[in-house]
Structure 1
Amino acid sequence: MKPVLVLAPLLALAACSPTTSPQAGRSLFAQNCVQCHGADARGGDTVPDLTGIALRAGGAYPQVMVLDKLDGYARGQAAYAGVKMPEFGYLLTGPLTRVPLPDGMSRELPEKIVALDSYLRSIQRTGD
């Protein structure tokens, strides 16, 4: 049996834990993101609508791009209309979890980042 087949169910379980669930992400969003993106996550003139991430990416949720933004790989780059994402250092702390990625690889990330990603994925609009 291939090791990847054995790990796949374990990775799926890690991604569904209560600490990385959309509900946990909603709480983190309320604490850190509503000031700019709004309670409905629809943003404004200089802040992106986070419910339309998938629509702007051609219909598929761009998980790697979102994780890059959230965990700081893209830190310092203009996020939208010249506005930079603030750095929320404490979101990068705490327990880590391994996240399966669309390309078949996986990446270890802080649970808080994974929870925010889960929440953002759960609020995507399917069309206008």
Structure 2
Amino acid sequence: MIRIFAIASLLAISACSPTTSPQAGRSLFAQNCVQCHGANATGGDTVPDLTGLALRAGGTYPQTMVLDKLDGYARGQAAYAGVAMPQFGYLLTGPLTRVPMSDGMSRQLPEKIVALDSYLRSLQRSGN
């Protein structure tokens, strides 16, 4: 019971932070991602549609995968063969925040990465 309360508290804290909010993520997306993924995040011929991440993952937003990719991109690691993602090293700068994960654990990440994740989560389309 205490573990569930602790996770819920962490979620509430990170969800309320203006630095990790979808609005903060929207600003970061506009600065870094629209050039390839487009203003509506639907991608293109060789660039993934970021509004369908949950649909492609069976209906559940794949937070761990998204955070891994965002963190990897920031560190200069390409995630797709033949697609060069730019380095976003500055996304690793600034304050860190703890993010509760679906497995009951948490991980510490830069607030900018968490904000981008929060924004991407807010863009997800339903299967309807």
> For residues 50-89 of structure 1, what are the structure 2 equivalents within 5 Å?
50-72=50-72, 75-79=76-80, 82-89=82-89
Partner Cα separation in structure 2 for residue 57 and residue 5 of structure 1: 25
TM-score (norm 2): 0.89
Partner Cα separation in structure 1 for residue 8 and residue 66 of structure 2: 23
Q: Deviations along 1:72-128, whole A, 9 cap, x unmatched?
A: 18853442x631322200001100000000111100000000000000000001126
Q: Which amino acid counterpart does residue 13 of structure 1 have in structure 2? A: A
Partner Cα separation in structure 2 for residue 75 and residue 59 of structure 1: 29
Unmatched 5+ residue regions in structure 2? Answer: none
Partner Cα separation in structure 2 for residue 53 and residue 6 of structure 1: 28
Taking every aligned residue pair, what percent have the same amino acid on both sides?
A: 75
Deviation of 1:13 after TM superposition, in Å, equals: 2.8
Q: Deviations along 1:9-40, whole A, 9 cap, x unmatched?
A: 43123321111000100000000000000000
Q: Which amino acid counterpart does residue 123 of structure 1 have in structure 2? A: L
Number of equivalenced pairs: 126
TM-score (norm 1): 0.89
Runs of 4+ off more than 6 Å: none
Name the SS of the counterpart of 1:35 in structure 2. Answer: helix
Q: Deviations along 1:55-81, whole A, 9 cap, x unmatched?
A: 1111111100000000118853442x6
**Which one is further off, 82-91 or 108-117?**
82-91
Partner Cα separation in structure 1 for residue 118 and residue 61 of structure 2: 11
The corresponding residue for 1:19 is 19
